[in-house]
Amino acid sequence: MDGKFMKNKNNIYFALAVLIIVILFISSSETYKQQTSVPFLEKYLANKPFENWLSNVSFSYAGQVESVQQVGYFKFVEFFIRKAAHFMTYFLMAGFIFLGLKNRIKKWRYSGFIAIACAAIYASFDEFHQSLTGGRSPLVQDVILDTIGATAGVLLTILIVTLYHRRKTRKN
């Protein structure tokens, strides 16, 4: 019975990864105008709570300067939200793929490599898909960010699983 439960558990992890892929596909099908959070931010951050701090931040991303002065407060905050979403979705996707594979493949490093590779390949496909959507810009930098998120997700998942197994072994 335990083996059957583990198989089902692995399938749940794969299902969660597929759910993230579906959400990403739908999101990439929307124009920037359809998914912008600027109106929401204007409503709920109307007093610009982080403006003093963010006004001192400026950097280049994909060949464009990103700063409050350059794009405005709300678009700058949205930039961080969008990039955090990139990082976190691929963090979770790769973590779930790893968890789905770790009991099927003996060596965890192979499961980790496959999970990161799948996430990186999908990130590339997702940026291509965005190129077919009006008002969206496919960026190599986003693929890199997504792959970094996937790598962090796998590494943290390996750490948590390792600590869990060590703790379980000590109890026995």
The per-residue pLDDT for range 1-50, each reduced to its tens digit, is 455 655 588 899 999 999 999 999 999 999 989 999 999 999 999 999 99
Rounded to a whole number of angstroms, the CA Rg of the chain reads: 19
Give the pair of three-digit tokens for residue 159: 């750490």
Chain segment 74-117, per-residue pLDDT in tens: 999 999 999 999 999 999 999 999 999 998 888 889 999 999 99
Q: What is the DSSP letter of 1?
A: -
- Listed in sequence order, the residues at least 6 apart from 61 whose beta carbon sits closer than 8 Å to its beta carbon are 79, 83, 141
Q: Are 116 and 146 in contact (CB under 8 A)?
A: no
Q: Are 86 and 149 in contact (CB under 8 A)?
A: yes
pTM score, whole prediction:
0.89
Place of tokens 């190599």: 140
Nearest residue to 14 (alpha-carbon basis) of 86, 102, 126, 73: 102
Residue 165's pLDDT is 84
Q: Are 106 and 97 in contact (CB under 8 A)?
A: no
